[in-house]
């Protein structure tokens, strides 16, 4: 935004000389033929009244980050669909589980396999504070119900198992409890003492403010 009523879209900035912005050379990338590189891009612009609706920025981000996966099959009529028990996205078990455990259009879930019966779960609230007029809001997620539901979706409701959920730091290389305990305690004359032995209770639910990210290690044990 340059000024009220004006928006600048910068597709691919090119300079003949160094602009002294830290690169140390001219920003003039070329292809093997000596022509300026081609940079395809799609812009989404939304004009809206903030008093009547919220921005669609984060919903578009979700679509860009995780586009719909499409598969094609020939000779797949209505009888085959019924036989395969294919349902709409609002009716499938995964979508229902997310809705039941607190996920909204501004909550993002990513799952990574870490080995047999082990997954890494990254949950992010991609909402923005400007959509709530500067007021910090939180979204609650039922973590225990979510991880149990994921197992049941794959193995069936009757499967017997136990599950261990550990909150990790953002890079998932140590537990959140260990990170807090090992954190450097900077002390000055007016600092309050910080409790290093952080007690971590059994994880049932978690709260996410706008832009908050939490990572959980989930380990299943079949019984």
- Cβ(114)–Cβ(217) under 8 Å? yes
Global pTM reads 0.71
How many CB atoms neighbour CB 89 within 10 A?
A: 8
Q: What is the pLDDT along the chain (223 residues), one digit of tens a residue?
A: 567 777 777 777 788 888 887 778 888 888 899 888 888 888 888 888 878 887 888 888 888 887 877 777 676 666 665 665 555 555 678 888 999 999 998 899 999 999 999 999 999 999 888 888 788 999 999 999 999 999 998 888 888 899 999 999 999 999 999 988 888 777 777 666 665 555 555 789 999 999 999 999 999 998 8
pLDDT score, position 81:
58
Between CA 36 and CA 29 the distance in angstroms is 6
How is the chain split into domains, by residue range?
A: 57-189+197-222
Between CA 10 and CA 12 the distance in angstroms is 6
How many CB atoms neighbour CB 160 within 10 A?
A: 8
* Strand-by-strand arrangement of the 118-125 sheet: 107-115, 118-125, 213-222, 161-168
- Cβ(139)–Cβ(123) under 8 Å? no
Measured distance between the N- and C-terminal CA atoms of the chain, rounded to whole angstroms: 58
Both tokens assigned to 97: 């589980």
Domain covering 57-189+197-222 in this structure, CATH number: 2.60.40.1360
Question: What does the chain look like in DSSP terms, one character per residue?
Answer: --BTTB----S----SS--SSSSSS----B-TTSSBPP-----------TTT----HHHHHHHHHSPPP----SS--HHHHHHHT---TTTSHHHHHHHHTT--TTEEEEEEEEETTEEEEEEEE---GGGGTT---EEEE-HHHHHHHHHHHHH-TT--EEEEEEEE-TTSSSBHHHHHHHS-----TTPPP---S---PPP--EEEETT-EEEEEEEEEE-
Between CA 78 and CA 38 the distance in angstroms is 44
């Amino acid at each position: 935004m340059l000024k009220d009523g004006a928006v600048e879209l910068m597709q691919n900035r090119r300079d003949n000389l160094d602009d002294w912005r830290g690169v140390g050379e001219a920003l003039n990338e070329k292809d093997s033929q000596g022509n300026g590189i081609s940079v395809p891009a799609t812009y989404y612009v939304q004009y809206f009244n903030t008093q009547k609706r919220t921005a669609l920025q984060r919903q578009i981000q979700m679509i860009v980050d995780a586009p719909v996966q499409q598969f094609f099959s020939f000779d797949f009529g209505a009888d085959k669909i019924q036989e395969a028990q294919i349902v709409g996205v609002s009716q499938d078990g995964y979508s229902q589980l997310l809705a039941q455990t607190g996920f909204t259009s501004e909550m993002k879930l990513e799952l990574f396999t870490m080995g047999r019966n082990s997954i890494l779960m990254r949950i992010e609230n991609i909402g923005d504070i400007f959509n709530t007029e500067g007021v910090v809001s939180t979204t609650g997620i039922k973590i225990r119900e979510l991880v149990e539901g994921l197992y049941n979706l794959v193995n069936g409701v009757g499967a017997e198992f136990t599950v261990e959920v550990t909150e990790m730091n953002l890079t998932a290389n140590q537990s959140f409890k260990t990170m807090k305990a090992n954190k450097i305690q900077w002390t000055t004359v007016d600092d309050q003492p910080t409790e290093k032995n952080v007690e971590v209770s059994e994880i049932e639910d978690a709260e996410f403010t706008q832009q908050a990210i939490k990572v959980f290690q989930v380990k299943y044990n079949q019984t």
